[in-house]
Amino acid sequence: MTSTTANELSRRIANGSVKLATIGLGYVGLPLSVEFASSGVDVLGIDVDAGKVSAVRRGESYIRDVPSERISELVRAGKLAATTDFDRLSERDAIVICVPTPLSKTKDPDLSLVVQAAEEIGKRLRPAQLVVLESTTYPGTTEELIRPILEREGLEVGRDFFLAFSPERVDPGNKNWNTRNTPKIIGGTTPACRDVALALYSRAVTHVIPVSSTRTAEMVKLLENTFRSVNIALVNEVALMCDRLGVDVWEVIDAAASKPFGFMPFYPGPGLGGHCIPIDPFYLSWKLKTLNYRARFIELAGEVNSEMPYHVVSRVQDALNDRRRSVKGSRILLVGVSYKPDVDDVRESPALDLLRLLKQKGAEVSYHDPHVPELRFEGTSLRSVPLSESLPESDCVVIVTNHSSLDVAAIVEGAALVIDTRNATKNLSPTGGEGRAAGLKKIQKL
């Protein structure tokens, strides 16, 4: 049975008078805010970071996928605003939580920011409000953790207010898929919660997909990234096997990918990075431990993937040894430190592990990345060095992230030794202009 509050909120969504708040203006919250505002919704972004709030107010973007021009236009039109004041939550009809959910050092979920956001909402919750959690978490969080906080003051979910989970599917740097055209999963605590959330997201997202519960929606997100983590771990282990067998793993994968059915290519690398794949599967693993079940694939995949930076360092060490040099005292240049090509995001980047491990072995390590001019690392600040100056001085160059703007042929030409962890040199044939550059240098692949 549809409640009066559900009908009231649905009318506001339908006639465009709904007011939305997004808590967290990061990689998820800012693009989401912009899409809702672009669809005509009055959006208020809330963040504890005064710098982000000030940037939005000035119409400036700090996220590469969101042009400043879009923010500026929406701010001038009065559709997008930002604040650090949580008291303004009471004036909003819908609230979306988009805060980070990292792992602790022991691989346990850290939901402190989600809890803080829920506490702030709970203090100000009123009838006919919708609350949606987008932050990635373990199955059961919305029902077991968020719901009790919001019901403390006597309001009942599904009758007085509405609660749903909709997993974020942000892929930074993706030119084809964005917040608007990526299908959106919606799971409600009750059918009324689901229906209200579906109506809201349909204003800003092209395709919304309902599922039976918040727990199901939470599991969908974890399956997506566990699938990728496990398959990347498999191909990373195949890379280690091929290394011992003297076989080119990249050639093997390309040949296998010619099969039109039953095979999906994944590619090895120096380790996992980003805000999802290295983290999300462990939310599921942690939850299953509480149910006396060991998620063996997840744990094994995590073990294999976390060992890849050590394998790369071993390759560097062996390659230098072949040239009668030790890692200690060698000048090593990392090319690319963001976790994926053409983004400025270094969260969980394997480059950070390589930087730490090589420094521990006494190497003099520098980096070049056109997207990351400055890098905070273990309490110090490092700056990207120009290739023209650093290549001739380096004993070894490690290609960690294959940005599209990199001139790989020039890197190979100017380097004494190249460790290619991304198959970036695949187009340098043994003959021809670029091939001559490749042939003159020692290139070792992962």
- Which amino acid appears at position 190 of this protein? T
276 in active site:
yes
Q: Which sign does the torsion angle of CA 363, 349, 102, 27 carry?
A: positive
Catalytic residue among 98, 193, 242, 276: 276
CB-based contacts of 362: which residues, under 8 Å, 6+ apart?
A: 326, 327, 328, 329
Residues taking part in catalysis: 276
